[in-house]
Amino acid sequence: MFTTTPPTYTLTLLGDVMLGRLVDQLLPDSVPSADDAAHISNFRRQYPSLQSYTYASPSGNVLPLFRSSSLVLANLETSATLHPTPYPDKTFNYRTHPSNLHSLTTANIAHVSLANNHTLDFCETGLLDTIAALRHQGISFAGAGSTPEEAARPAVLTLPSTDPDRQAHEIHCYSFSDHPASWSSIPLFNHIDYTSASRARLKSQLTAPRPDGHRPPALKLVSMHWGPNYAWQPAPEIRLLARFLVRECGVDIVHGHSSHHIQGVEIIERSEDLKAEDDDVPGEGESDRHATREAGSKGLVIYGCGDFVDDYAVNGVFRNDLSAAWRVTVGSAGGSSDGDVQKDAGRGLEVQKLEVFPNRIKTFQASLLRREDPDHEWVMKKFRQLCKEMGTDVQEGLGSEGQIVVVM
């Protein structure tokens, strides 16, 4: 019998992409800032290569990895606006010229999270300008919106199917942030906390039934800007929320960021007992059928992706200049009993593997690290240690591209 191997897809996830401040001054267009312009003039004298900084420069030699990925998703940690009024009483307010979002399309970034502590740095006007600039670039977003309804909706991304009888795979992307607390009253922004009321809102949003005739998404991804800066392990309430997202909201991938450095990952199993409990929640009914996945399937939680590119000072302990590109391989859920490619798109996709590609930020540019680089070894050892503390097994050897591998 002729058999076909079911296709797999790669989603590359990035942490904070900060195109404001000094990075903005290097890019082809920049917002007015005399102080930042003076600083970057000094850097250009010190590093002549910065004279030719282009839209591709922030991504450095990571670009081929992005261009070979099915989808690239990131946390956009800046406002893209010419609006001059900063949000009051904030220590740092980041903005970049709207045209500099071309750096994202150059890097093949298809989707960004807007739920973080910088997209409102120049008030709601700046956020609306950011949304308009993303639309102009054809980049999808979640976590904030031009209306409260848009802010609450997921972005819908698609992966092509190789089977002509099969619909494309839909990926629903949501985004939330637990800070700043003062933004919780802004209806255009997805703020969460760790109360039962916030959990109820999360579950309602993540498990809302689809319109008649629409299948549940093949994959559900939630981007979380959570926790403080500079903490190796996520707080207990964060880990509990991660379990809630996977087990009770049907989330397949949690894309975490905020710490400014890497954190460990956790693989969370869904159990029959919990699935049954979810199905029995009074009043949940239809929405809960969209929440649960196959019993025994697993969710992947990346607690902290680190910063992909920024202009921050380096913390010698937490090494915020070292992070990674996180490539997640997904494929057909459950496989096929007869070896043929599945015909039922409703069965969805599941996470099969995580590959971690260590990189370093230097002179406002990300670069993949070679395996012989001491910083590659630092990232590898730290990541293994953090994962071990969470009970997550990391493959002993490195992959063919020097990547660290976690198999589901």
Predicted confidence at residue 282, as pLDDT, reads 32
User: Total structural domains in the chain?
Assistant: 1
Predicted confidence at residue 211, as pLDDT, reads 75
Q: Please answer whether residues 404 and 356 qualify as being in contact, where contact means their C-beta atoms are separated by less than 8 angstroms.
A: yes
Q: Residue written as tokens 């989808």?
A: 71
Q: Is residue 320 part of a domain?
A: yes
Q: Is residue 101 part of a domain?
A: yes
Parallel, antiparallel or unpaired: strands 140-142 and 109-113: parallel
Mention every residue, 6+ apart, whose C-beta is less than 8 A from residue 302. 13, 253, 254, 255, 256, 263, 265, 326, 354
**For the whole model, what pTM was predicted?**
0.92
Q: Which domain holds residue 180?
A: 8-270+297-333+349-407
Q: Is residue 278 part of a domain?
A: no
Predicted confidence at residue 281, as pLDDT, reads 33
Q: Please answer whether residues 177 and 191 qualify as being in contact, where contact means their C-beta atoms are separated by less than 8 angstroms.
A: yes
Q: Please answer whether residues 22 and 41 qualify as being in contact, where contact means their C-beta atoms are separated by less than 8 angstroms.
A: no
Predicted confidence at residue 6, as pLDDT, reads 79
Q: Is the peptide bond between 236 and the residue preceding it cis, with omega within 30 degrees of 0?
A: no
> C-alpha angle with apex 352: 348 to 358, nearest 5 degrees?
130
Over residues 245-268, the pLDDT tens digits come to: 999 999 999 999 999 999 999 999
Q: Is residue 220 part of a domain?
A: yes
Parallel, antiparallel or unpaired: strands 71-76 and 8-17: parallel
Predicted confidence at residue 4, as pLDDT, reads 64
Q: Is residue 338 part of a domain?
A: no
Which ranges of 14-80 would DSSP assign to H, the alpha helix?
21-26, 34-46, 63-67
Which helix (H) or strand (E) segment holds residue 205: the answer is helix 196-206
What residue ranges of the chain have pLDDT lower than 70? 1-4, 162-166, 212-213, 272-296, 334-347
Predicted confidence at residue 209, as pLDDT, reads 87
- Of 71, 56, 26, nearest in space to 325 by CA: 71
Q: Is residue 203 part of a domain?
A: yes
Q: Six-digit token pair at 101? A: 């979002």
Q: Is residue 276 part of a domain?
A: no
Over residues 108-138, the pLDDT tens digits come to: 999 999 999 999 999 999 999 999 999 999 9
Predicted confidence at residue 161, as pLDDT, reads 77
Over residues 172-228, the pLDDT tens digits come to: 999 999 999 999 999 999 999 999 999 999 999 999 987 766 788 999 999 999 999
Indicate the angle between helix axes 196-206 and 236-249, nearest 10 degrees: 30
- How far apart are alpha carbons 92 and 116 in whole angstroms? 13
Predicted confidence at residue 213, as pLDDT, reads 63
Q: Is residue 275 part of a domain?
A: no
- Strand, helix or coil at 398? coil
